[in-house]
Chains A and B, each alone.
Chain A
Amino acid sequence: MKPRTRRFAWIGAGLAALGVAAALVLNAFQSNLVFFFTPSQVAAKDAPQGRAFRIGGMVEAGSLKREPNSLTVSFMVTDTAKTIPVTYTGLLPDLFKEGKGVVAQGSLGADGVFHATEVLAKHDENYMPPEAKAAVDAAQKGMTMKSLHESSPRGRAP
C-alpha cells in the first residue's frame, strides 16, 4: 500500500469506529432518558403508560401504610394540587419522611397507582429534591393542569 492509501484507510477506519461509538452512545442515551412528571401532570394523563418515569412532590402526612408481613409500603405523593398513590417494596431511605420531599422512579399501573422501583431521598434533611420542589411550586403558582399541559409535554418546571 502506498503511504497515502494507507493514511486514507486509517482515517476511514477511525471514522467508522467513531460512527459506531456515536450510534451506540446515542441509542443508549435515547432509550435511557427518564422524564419527570408532577402529580398534576400524571393526573392529567400526560405521563406515559408502561414506560419508566419519575414523579416528585411531598409525602402526604399520615399517608404512609405498611402491609403486614412484607416490606411493601404505600403512600401518597402530592404537589398540593393533585395526589398520586405510590407503592414500593423495599427499604425506604433514611431521609424519607411524611411531610418531606420525595422523588420516586417507576411506572404507572392501569389502576392509576404508581409502582415505584426506586425511592430517592438524599442529602440532608433540609434539602428538598429539586424535582419535588419544582412540582410543588408549579402547583402552588396556580398553574392549571391545562396550562401546564399546553406549555410543555415534558414536565416543565417554571
Chain B
Amino acid sequence: MIPELGHFALILALLVAIVQGTLPLLGAAKGDSRLMALARPAARAQGLLVALAFGCLAWSFISNDFSVQNVTSNSNSQLPLQYRFAATWGSHEGSLLLWTLMLGGWSIAVTLFSRNLPTAMLARVVSVMGLVSVGFLSFLLFTSNPFERLIPAAAEGRDLNPLLQDPGMVFHPPVLYMGYVGFSVAFAFAIAALIGGRLDATWARWSRPWTTVAWSFLTIGIALGSGWAYYTLGWGGWWFWDPVENASFMPWLTGTALIHSLAVTEKRGAFKSWTVLLAIIAFSLSLVGTFLVRSGVLTSVHAFATDPARGTFILLFLAVVIGGSLALFAWRASNVGLGGAFGAVSRESMLLANNILLIVAMASVLLGTLYPLFLDALNLGKISVGPPYFDAVFYPLMAPAAFLMGIGPIARWNKAPLPELWTRLRWALGVAAVSALLLPFALGRWSPLIAFGLFLALWIFASTVAGLRARLVNTQRGNLIASLRANSPSYYGMLIAHLGIGVFIVGVTLVKGYEVERDVRLDVGESISVGGYDFKFLGVAPGPGPNYRALTGTFEVRKDDRLIETLHPEKRVYNASGQAMTIAAIDTRVAGDIYVSLGEPVAAPDAIAGPWSVRVYLKPFVDWIWSGAFLMALGGFLAVSDRRYRIAVRSRVSAAMGHAASASAAAD
C-alpha cells in the first residue's frame, strides 16, 4: 500500500506543479492577482506531496519491502538502519526523487522568506521553479518510477554498493543536491527578471542570499565527497578530476563567479546581463551534472541506447531548459541592460577578471569532461583525459585569480588609483613574498612551485589583514571591539571565505609538495621507516561486522622510539555482494595525516597470516584542504545573516512595489 501511496502522491504533485508552473505566470502577465496568489499555496502543496512520496520510498527501504524493485536492487535486510535510509537515494530513481524533494523544499522556502517580494516577481519565480519541477516529476513518473513493484517479491535484496555504506555517503548527496538545486532559485529569479524586463539593485539584493546559501551547500557537498574519496577508496587521493567530480565542480566554479557578479550588480548596478547569464549557466550545469552522474552515461554512453526513453527525455529536457532560457536571454537581455561603466583599474574590473578566469576554467573542465563522451557517442574512438590535462590548465588559470583576491576587496569601486593600492598593499606583498621564499627551507625542501603556492596563500592572508586594518581605521569607533562591530557580517563573511581559499591553497601546496607515499610488502613483525616515523606491522586478525566480514590489521607508529599511535586499517568483504572494500586507518594531526591501508596477502590469496602489501602515506596539511572548504561555506552563511537582506528590503519594499507594478504594466 505504502509504495502505491507514494506513487499517487507523485502523480498529484505533478498535477499541482503544472498549476504552479503556469497559472501564476499567466497571472503575472495579465496582472490578475487571483492567479498570482496561487503561487504560494501551489508551491507548498507540491513540496509536501513530494515529501510524502519521498517518505513512502524511505519507509519501503527501512521496512525492507522487497516487493519494490528499487529496494530489492539497492538494499538488503542485513544493512544497518542508517544505510537503509541512505539507500533511498542510492539509485538513479531515488536520487532524482531526492532532487525533486530538494526543489520542493527550496520552493517552500521561497514562499516563506519572500514576504517582501512584489507579487508579480514572486509569482514568476515560483512558477519557473514549478516548471522545473514538472520536468523532474514527469521524468520520474514516465521513465524512472521509484515505486515500481517486483512481482513476485524477492526474498532478499541485492545490497547497497559497499562504497556507499559510509557515513560520508549519508550526508554527501543531500548536501550536494541542496547546492545544485539551490541554484534553481537564482535561475528562477533570473528568468523572472528577463520576463519582467526589469533588473535593478533590489533584484540583486533579493537573489544574492539564495545564491550564496546554495553555493555554501555545494561547497560543503563537494568537500564531503572529496573527504569520502580520500578515506574510503584507499588511495589517499583527495581529487581525481573524475567526471563525477567535475560534474559538481563546474556548477561550483560558475556559482563562484555568480556570487561575485551579483555583488557588483547589487552595489553598482553593473554586470546586469552577465549576472543573468551566469545564473542560467550555473543552473544548467547543475542539471547537466545531475544527469551525467545519474543517467549512467559516464559508465557507457551506450547506456542511452539500451534505455532510449530515458536518454531522449534527458536530452529533450536539457534542450528545453538550457535552450529556452538562453533564447529568452537573447530576446530580453537588452531590456535588462548592461549596467554602469567603470574604470580600467577598479573593484569592478578586478571582479570582471575574476569572473572571466573562473568561467574559462569551467569551460576547460567542461571540454575535458565531455569531449571523450562525444567521441565515444559518435563512435570515433575511446579516449580519456587524465589529471595532467586538468592540472596543466587549472592551476595557471586560478593563480592570477588568487592573486586578484588580495587586491579586489581593497580596491575602490569605479576607480582605484594604483599608487594608493601600492601604499596599502606593499607590506602585505613584501611579507608574503619573503616568507614564501624562506618557509620551504624550514619545511625541508625548496621548490619553486611550493614557494609560489605558499606565496599565494600568504598573500591572501596578509592582504586580508591589511584590508581589515584599513577598514577598522576608517570606522574609528574609539575601541577595537566597537570598530569590529561597526562592520557588517557580510564583510566578515567575505573575509572568512577568502581566508578559506588561502587555507585550501596551503593544504594543496603542502600535500603536493611534501607527501610521502610508500607501497611496501611487510611481513608480520617487520617495520618500515617512512618520513621519520617507524611503522611496525603486527599482523591481521579476522572479525565480524554488521553485514560484512572484516580483516583488521594492527600497526604501531613510533617516532623516536616513542609509541604515538596504534592504527587499525581494515579490509572488508560484504556478505550480500561478496565485494571487497578497503578502509584506511588515518591518524589526523594539525601538521597532517598518517595514513595506512591494507593491500592484500602477497604469499597466496588466502595466506592472511603471511606478508601483506601495505600503503604507508604521510599527508602533510591535507586536512587544511577540507578546512578551507568549510571556512568558505561558513563565510557564505555568515554573509547571508546580514541584516540588510531583511531590514533594508523591508524599507525599500514600498518603492520597489511601485517600480515593479509600473514595470510589469510597461512590460506586459
A residues near B (Cβ < 8 Å) are 6, 10, 14, 17-18, 21, 24-25, 28-29, 32-36, 54, 66, 69-71, 89-92, 94-95, 105, 123-125, 127, 130-131, 133-134, 152, 154-158
A32-B385 in contact given A25-B393, A124-B163 (Cβ < 8 Å): yes
Q: In the complex, which residue of chain A has the Cβ closest to the Cβ of B162?
A: A124
A155-B381 in contact given A29-B389, A92-B600 (Cβ < 8 Å): yes
A6-B343 Cα distance, complex, nearest whole Å: 10
A77-B582 Cα distance, complex, nearest whole Å: 24
Inter-subunit contact B521/A25 (CB<8 Å): no
Please list 9 pairs of residues, one from A and one from B, whose beta carbons are closer than 8 Å in the complex, sorted by A's number.
A21-B397, A28-B392, A33-B385, A94-B580, A123-B163, A125-B579, A130-B302, A133-B300, A157-B379
Inter-subunit contact B381/A36 (CB<8 Å): yes
Inter-subunit contact B381/A91 (CB<8 Å): no
A33-B381 Cα distance, complex, nearest whole Å: 12
A136 to chain B, nearest CB (A): 14
B121 to chain A, nearest CB (A): 34
Other than the known A17-B356, A21-B360, A35-B382, what 6 A-B pairs have Cβ atoms closer than 8 Å?
A: A24-B397, A32-B386, A36-B384, A92-B600, A95-B580, A127-B299
A130-B397 Cα distance, complex, nearest whole Å: 33
Q: Which of A71, A152, A156 contacts B613 (CB 8 A)?
A: A71
A154-B577 in contact given A21-B360, A66-B602 (Cβ < 8 Å): no
A130-B381 Cα distance, complex, nearest whole Å: 12
Q: In the complex, which residue of chain A has the Cβ closest to the Cβ of B579?
A: A125
Most buried by B among A32, A90, A127, A155: A32
A105-B266 Cα distance, complex, nearest whole Å: 50
B599: A residues at CB distance < 8 A: 71, 91-92
CB of B80 within 8 Å of the partner chain: no
A25-B364 in contact given A71-B519, A124-B163 (Cβ < 8 Å): yes
A91-B519 in contact given A6-B344, A17-B356, A124-B579 (Cβ < 8 Å): yes
Q: In the complex, which residue of chain A has the Cβ closest to the Cβ of B572?
A: A94
Inter-subunit contact A33/B383 (CB<8 Å): yes
A71: B residues at CB distance < 8 A: 519-521, 599, 602, 613
A91: B residues at CB distance < 8 A: 519, 599-600, 613, 615
The digit string for B229-248, where 1 denotes a CB below 8 A from any CB of A, is: 00000100000000000000
Inter-subunit contact A35/B381 (CB<8 Å): yes
Closest 6 CB pairs of A and B: A32-B389, A154-B381, A28-B392, A36-B382, A91-B599, A94-B580
Q: Which of A14, A131, A156, A157 contacts B356 (CB 8 A)?
A: A14
A8-B383 Cα distance, complex, nearest whole Å: 41
Inter-subunit contact B300/A130 (CB<8 Å): yes
A34-B299 in contact given A29-B389, A91-B613, A95-B580 (Cβ < 8 Å): no
A125: B residues at CB distance < 8 A: 577-579
A58 to chain B, nearest CB (A): 17
B234: A residues at CB distance < 8 A: 94
B615: A residues at CB distance < 8 A: 91
A71 to chain B, nearest CB (A): 6
Q: Which of A6, A28, A54 contacts B389 (CB 8 A)?
A: A28
A32: B residues at CB distance < 8 A: 385-386, 388-389, 392
A70 to chain B, nearest CB (A): 7
- The main secondary structure of chain B at its interface with chain A is mixed
CB of B161 within 8 Å of the partner chain: yes
B384: A residues at CB distance < 8 A: 33-34, 36, 54
A157-B385 in contact given A29-B368, A94-B582, A124-B163 (Cβ < 8 Å): no
Q: Quick one: which of B488-525 are within 8 Å of A by CB?
A: 519-521
A128-B580 Cα distance, complex, nearest whole Å: 16
B388 to chain A, nearest CB (A): 5
Inter-subunit contact A152/B577 (CB<8 Å): no
A18: B residues at CB distance < 8 A: 356, 360
B316: A residues at CB distance < 8 A: none
The digit string for B219-263, where 1 denotes a CB below 8 A from any CB of A, is: 000000000000000100000000000000000000000000000
A105-B600 Cα distance, complex, nearest whole Å: 21
A144-B302 Cα distance, complex, nearest whole Å: 23
A123: B residues at CB distance < 8 A: 161, 163, 299
CB of B340 within 8 Å of the partner chain: no
Q: Which of B302, B379, B519, B577 contacts A124 (CB 8 A)?
A: B577
Inter-subunit contact A156/B379 (CB<8 Å): yes
Q: In the complex, which residue of chain A has the Cβ closest to the Cβ of B388?
A: A32
A70: B residues at CB distance < 8 A: 521
Q: In the complex, which residue of chain B has the Cβ closest to the Cβ of A52?
A: B386
CB of B396 within 8 Å of the partner chain: yes
Most buried by B among A18, A33, A54, A158: A33
Q: In the complex, which residue of chain B has the Cβ closest to the Cβ of A98?
A: B605
A96 to chain B, nearest CB (A): 9
B640 to chain A, nearest CB (A): 32
Inter-subunit contact B383/A34 (CB<8 Å): yes
A17-B357 Cα distance, complex, nearest whole Å: 10
Q: Quick one: which of B376-428 are within 8 Å of A by CB?
A: 376, 379-386, 388-389, 392-393, 396-397
Inter-subunit contact B367/A29 (CB<8 Å): yes
B160 to chain A, nearest CB (A): 10
CB of B581 within 8 Å of the partner chain: yes
A23 to chain B, nearest CB (A): 11
Inter-subunit contact B386/A34 (CB<8 Å): yes
A8-B379 Cα distance, complex, nearest whole Å: 44
B380: A residues at CB distance < 8 A: 154, 156
Q: In the complex, which residue of chain A has the Cβ closest to the Cβ of B381?
A: A154
B66 to chain A, nearest CB (A): 19
Q: In the complex, which residue of chain B has the Cβ closest to the Cβ of A38?
A: B382
A123-B577 Cα distance, complex, nearest whole Å: 13
B657 to chain A, nearest CB (A): 37
B161: A residues at CB distance < 8 A: 123-124
A9-B580 Cα distance, complex, nearest whole Å: 60
Q: In the complex, which residue of chain A has the Cβ closest to the Cβ of B349?
A: A10
Q: In the complex, which residue of chain B has the Cβ closest to the Cβ of A129?
A: B299
